[in-house]
Structures are given as C-alpha cells and as structure tokens.
C-alpha cells in the first residue's frame, strides 16, 4: 500500500510518520526538496502543483492520494482523482479554498456563519459596511491563512485603505463576532460511513496564528453537540472520506458560528497524537486506505498543545536550534519538530504537547516550558 500526499509540510510529515509505523509507504508531491514531509517519506517528488503530467505520473505510483492543504489547484486534484482515488473528494476543495463558497455552503445546509458580504470593488465594500456596520473584517476570498490577507475595519472611512491593503482582490466582508472563545472539531469518516470526532478543542490565537489548543474546551454540551453535528453533516452531505476540521466562534451570548473548514488534519488536532487513543494522522491514514475509523477517546481528562514559532527561537541559535536538554528538563512535555532549518517569525517550527488531569495545570506547564526556549537556548 502506498499513500500519495499533495503538499510536503508538517501535516504531511506527521501522516508519513504514522504510515511508516504501519509499514505503509508514502510519496509526497510538492515543488520543494528536503521538505518536512519529504524528509520522512519514501519518495519525494519535486514538481509544480499545476504540472499535470507530473501529477499523473505521481498518481500512477500510489494506491490512494490525500492532500495536506486546501490550495492544491483543483484541476490537479481532479486529474489525480481520474487515475487514483483522492480523499477527501476534491469537491470539498472547491468549497474550502474560497471563503465565499465556504460560507454560502455552510449557510445553505443550516450551519450558522458570520454575516457576510462578497466584495469585488470598493463600492461593494462600502455597501457591505453599510449593511454589516463596523467593526468588520475584510478577508481575501482565496489564499489567506494565519491572518494573512485580512484587515479589520473599525471606521467606514477606512474602506479605501482596506481595499488597497487587501490588494483589490475578490474578498468577503464579515461582521465582527464578539466571541467568548474559539473552538474546533475534527471529524473522521471511513469508507463504510463510520464517523468519529475529536473535541471541541479550545484554541487561542496570537497575531492570528494558532498559539495554544486545549481540551476539554469548556463549552456546554449543547454547543459541543451542535459543533460535532456540523462536522458530521458536512462530511455526510459531501460523502467525504478522511479527515476535516471546522473552526467555530462561541459568541459572548452563547451562539455557535462556523468560521472555516479545513479538509485535512489541523494544527489544533496535533494534541491527538499523545492525547487520544488514535491520532488525527492515524485517522487520516486509516480512513483513506479503507480501514474503519479508530477510537478517538482522550487518554487523560486534559491535554494541551503549544505551537513553537520561529519567533521564539533564540537568535544566536538559529542554526542549531534551542537547547532542548534544558527546555525539556521535565520529561512529561513532548516535543515535535518539523525539520525546518530556518526559523523565521511566524513560521511553525514544531509544537509541544502535554497530557494531564487538569487543563489549567497543563496550560501553565506548557507555557512555562515554551518560555524557557528563548531564555535557555
């Protein structure tokens, strides 16, 4: 059995690691070389994502294909799917890669989303601001991630500046959501229709980038049930096999608002590696190769994950990295590094995970451990 992976970042790397554990081979496809996933895969194919000949050759080498990011060109995913099954089905890519289609789709199937207004011109933006009021946030319809391609608008007079900042690209204006917390739910669905889920997971962002994820999320069972049902509904309606994640806001007045769908493993699900009987990456592997979903029960009552960004690398240690011996003097905190040689601000270099009985204690220990990276490195 050989799994093909479109994309070669840390998500592909962790899938390749789990595949190797099960003696399943992986072939990764991306324009890069010596990539995080390529370092642990059996074969690393280096070609442009829109090189359809290379895509066909790659598809012929493997038994099933998945992807680790939603910006894979749709045509490439469809061409690959003609040769070898691609999971989740590429129809979700068309939805998940475009914020307008994503929100419209969720709204159509009854999942509440933030009020939104498609924007293709400054006039559209002004009209949208009249309808939705301020504050609001303007986001490029495609290719924004980790807060890139987003501008918060707090005054109508900022419209022109915001439209220029976003590069005058097709965008969506969203009403500002006063949220109490952000949560995510991951769902795994197998080829027999079996479904299981993780979460809700509570997520804290810093500078629009995921910072810390924790379980339990501290939301009531009504919110948790609704969030899980939303994920199940999307997977069933689109007959998706594999793994997806939906990120939600829980508003200060107790409503659940869906923000984004990721049809792949998610950064907030990294805590499932140590925290659950089956990790999100094993679920991805199991479901796409035709195995039933695995047991997604948490191993202990609490678990947390803290991202390690390039920002926290000690300056003088950019090449050799932090002094892990001192940072990890307490052996309960687990380290994952992604094999990226250059530490840039905002770049995800790795993460820390800790399981325990108490969420607050887990969070405090993770943050204290992370703080030592800069100090001790």
Site string for ligand AMP, 220-259 (x = CB under 6 A): ---------------------------------------x
Task: Give min distance, CB of 189 to ligand AMP, in A.
Answer: 23
Residue with tokens 């027999």: 192
Of the CA atoms within 13 Å of residue 48, those in its CB half-sphere come to 5
Decide if residue 95 touches ligand AMP (CB under 6 A): no
Task: Give min distance, CB of 249 to ligand AMP, in A.
Answer: 7
Task: Give min distance, CB of 205 to ligand AMP, in A.
Answer: 5
Q: Which of 44, 70, 158, 174 binds ligand AMP (CB under 6 A)?
A: 174
Task: Give min distance, CB of 148 to ligand AMP, in A.
Answer: 8
Site string for ligand AMP, 42-81 (x = CB under 6 A): ----------------------------------------
Task: Give min distance, CB of 2 to ligand AMP, in A.
Answer: 33
Task: Give min distance, CB of 115 to ligand AMP, in A.
Answer: 9
Phi, psi at 137, each rounded to 5°: -130, 130
- Do the beta carbons of residue 208 and residue 254 sit within 8 Å? no
Helices 52-61, 74-83: inter-axial angle, 10-degree rounding:
40
Q: Which of 182, 190, 202, 274 binds ligand AMP (CB under 6 A)?
A: 182
Considering beta carbons, is residue 45 or 177 the nearer one to ligand AMP? 177
- For residue 81, the tally of other CB atoms under 10 A from its CB is 16
Number of residues in the chain: 377
Decide if residue 114 touches ligand AMP (CB under 6 A): yes
Task: Give min distance, CB of 215 to ligand AMP, in A.
Answer: 18
Structure tokens at 343: 């530490």
Task: Give min distance, CB of 114 to ligand AMP, in A.
Answer: 4
Q: Which of 158, 260, 274, 282 binds ligand AMP (CB under 6 A)?
A: 260
Decide if residue 208 touches ligand AMP (CB under 6 A): yes
CA-based nearest residue to 307, from 269, 342, 279? 269
Candidate segments 33-41, 170-178, 276-284, 302-310, binder of ligand AMP by CB under 6 A: 170-178
Task: Give min distance, CB of 177 to ligand AMP, in A.
Answer: 4
Candidate segments 15-23, 80-88, 169-177, 265-273, binder of ligand AMP by CB under 6 A: 169-177
Site string for ligand AMP, 132-161 (x = CB under 6 A): -----x------x--x--------------
CA distance 292 to 188: 10
Structure tokens at 199: 């979460």
Task: Give min distance, CB of 60 to ligand AMP, in A.
Answer: 36
Structure tokens at 366: 């993770």
Decide if residue 30 touches ligand AMP (CB under 6 A): no
CA distance 362 to 359: 5
Q: Which of 176, 194, 195, 291 binds ligand AMP (CB under 6 A)?
A: 176
Q: Which of 106, 177, 231, 296 binds ligand AMP (CB under 6 A)?
A: 177
Q: How many residues bind ligand AMP (CB under 6 A)?
A: 12
Decide if residue 346 touches ligand AMP (CB under 6 A): no
Residue numbers of the site for ligand AMP (CB under 6 A)? 114, 137, 144, 147, 174, 176-177, 182, 205, 208, 259-260
């Amino acid at each position: 059995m050989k799994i093909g992976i479109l994309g070669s970042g840390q998500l592909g790397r962790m899938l390749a690691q789990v595949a190797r554990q099960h003696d399943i081979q992986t072939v990764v496809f991306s324009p890069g070389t010596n990539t995080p996933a390529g370092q642990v895969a059996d074969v690393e194919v280096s070609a442009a994502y829109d090189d359809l000949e290379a895509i066909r050759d790659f598809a012929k080498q493997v038994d099933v294909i998945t992807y680790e990011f939603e910006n894979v060109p749709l045509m490439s995913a469809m061409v690959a799917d003609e040769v070898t099954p691609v999971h989740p089905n590429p129809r979700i890519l068309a939805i998940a890669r475009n914020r307008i289609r994503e929100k419209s789709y969720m709204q159509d199937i009854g999942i509440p989303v933030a009020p939104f207004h498609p924007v293709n011109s400054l006039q559209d933006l002004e009209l949208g601001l009249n309808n939705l009021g301020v504050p609001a946030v303007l986001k490029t319809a495609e290719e924004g991630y980790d807060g890139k391609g987003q501008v918060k608008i707090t005054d109508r007079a900022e419209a022109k500046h915001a439209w220029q900042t976003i590069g005058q690209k097709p965008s969506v204006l969203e009403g500002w959501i006063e949220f109490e917390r952000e949560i995510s739910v991951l769902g795994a669905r197998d080829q027999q229709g079996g479904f299981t889920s993780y979460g809700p997971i509570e997520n804290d962002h810093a500078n629009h980038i995921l910072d810390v994820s924790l379980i339990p999320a501290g939301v009531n069972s009504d919110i948790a049930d609704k969030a899980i049902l939303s994920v199940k509904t999307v997977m069933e309606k689109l007959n998706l096999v594999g793994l997806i994640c939906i990120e939600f806001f829980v508003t200060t007045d107790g409503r659940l608002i869906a923000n984004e769908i990721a049809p792949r493993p998610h950064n907030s699900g990294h805590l499932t590696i140590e925290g659950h009987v089956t990790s999100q990456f094993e679920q991805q592997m199991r479901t796409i190769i035709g195995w039933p979903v695995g047991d997604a029960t948490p191993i202990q009552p609490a678990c947390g994950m803290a991202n390690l960004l390039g920002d926290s690398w000690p300056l003088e240690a950019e090449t050799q990295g932090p002094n892990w011996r001192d940072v990890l003097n307490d052996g309960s905190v687990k380290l994952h590094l992604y094999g990226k040689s250059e530490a840039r601000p905002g770049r995800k270099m790795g993460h820390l995970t800790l399981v325990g009985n108490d969420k607050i204690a887990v969070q405090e220990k993770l943050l204290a451990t992370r703080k030592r990276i800069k100090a001790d490195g």
